[in-house]
Amino acid sequence: MPNTKSAIRRVRRVMKQNSVNRIRTSKYKSVTKEISVFINAKKKKEAINLLPKLNSQLMKVVKTGVLKKKTASRKISRLTKQINKI
């Protein structure tokens, strides 16, 4: 348990940040899962149509600090390579 006033406020703030970050993470993960479903089903057009959506979601997550920029670009690159293999 936090002992000081500032520690109490910090705990409250971290809980809010954690919930917001969890929402952001689940958004980009759900788009990633959609694309991987299309990749496994060999549906190239649908997967290509979702790439810009994934890119924007990942950049929003990067902007807020949930993911690092190179991690996001690596995820985009790997998914793009998988789509091009179809």
Residue 27 structural domain: 5-85
Average pLDDT over residues 12-25: 94
The count of structural domains within the chain is 1
Q: CATH number, domain at 9?
A: 1.20.58.110
> Which run of H or E residues covers position 33?
helix 5-40
Per-residue pLDDT reduced to its tens digit, 69-81: 999 999 999 999 9
Per-residue pLDDT reduced to its tens digit, 31-84: 999 999 999 999 999 999 999 999 999 999 999 999 999 999 999 999 999 999
CA distances from 56 to 4, 17, 81 (A): 40, 21, 18
**Which of 24, 38, 36 is CA-nearest to residue 75?**
36
pTM: 0.79
**What pLDDT does residue 2 have?**
85
**Which of 63, 66, 64 is CA-nearest to residue 29?**
66
